[in-house]
Amino acid sequence: MKLPAAILISIILLNITVYSDSTFTKRSFKPKKTNIIQDLGYDLKYFAIDWGAFFASPFTSKKNLIISSSVVAGTVLSSTLDKDIRKHFSVPGESKYSGTFLDGPIFYGYVQYPSILGGAMYTIGLLARESELRKTGRMLIQSLVYSGTVTMALRYATGRHRPFSSSGNQYEFSWFNSAGDTQSFPSGHTVVAFATSTILAEQIDTWWARGILYSFAALTGYARMHYDKHWFSDIFFGAALGFGSSMFVIHRERDREKNERQKQKKGGGFSFSPTMNGFNIVYGF
């Protein structure tokens, strides 16, 4: 039997009145609270785990293998342009500190400066309980260490002659040599600059940060060629190594954060609780 429209309207109005102070509450999960010792343990643990994963990463998937192979192929192809690029962009014999604007990018590529920055960010974040600052500092140090390990190994193994110490041939190598003039491949300054810029740019996550930081990293590579310290292919591989190591570190950390959020979501959903004049709905996610 159908109820008259007036009665239906009365019932609806009555329900609105009875539940006039009912509430809907959104409950978001926050990272669980930790202390300094726990954060240190977490960071040391994943520093070591990620280091091993970094070396294995080129072989862990078809996508990674394609990317790594493309970088190697690009480096070999770019080496065919080394002599021509040196002829147009390098100034043999010029001091690396000439008082020009290029001195800034040169200093940007020294590993001690971003290392100090990363250490300071990590320490302040750890003590001030600022997790994002702490993680950014740790990721910067991770990227510098991981890419630095590869850089030093390749320099020693290949022993590539720097342009100013070569006979003009870009394919001069003194294998397994640690002399300074045979440490051309890859460009350490470029590795450091791109590793630093990538971590900072992606963490700041704005178009202007990416524009400024990546441009400055590119200037570091150009400055090393300008002062005849590296071949173009040294710069190409160094940029790829610095960028790639930082993106690896960033994705590893973001994957962990994503997994943590998914674990917390398992306790989500709707829950209901009565109140004096209605009920309270809580949704956790």
Poorest-pLDDT segment among 20-29, 151-160, 257-266: 20-29
CA dihedral sign, ordered 89, 147, 64, 204 = negative
> Which amino acid appears at position 227 of this protein?
Y
Rounded mean pLDDT, 147-173 = 95
- pLDDT band at residue 262 using 50, 70 and 90 as cut-offs: confident
pLDDT tens digits along 66-94: 999 999 999 999 999 999 999 999 988 77
Q: Is the pLDDT of residue 213 over 60?
A: yes
Q: What is the pLDDT of residue 26?
A: 38
Residue with token string 């509430």:
23
CA 26 to centroid of chain Cα atoms: 32
From 232, 192, 235, 228, select the one nearest 95 (Cα to Cα): 228
d(CA 66, CA 109): 28
Among 93-102, 181-190, 260-269, the range of highest mean pLDDT: 181-190
Q: Is the pLDDT of residue 134 over 80?
A: yes
- pLDDT band at residue 31 using 50, 70 and 90 as cut-offs: low
Q: Which helix (H) or strand (E) holds 194?
A: helix 188-204
Rounded mean pLDDT, 238-251 = 98
- What domains lie within the chain, and their CATH numbers? 30-258 (1.20.144)
State the average pLDDT for the chain: 85
d(CA 122, CA 108): 19
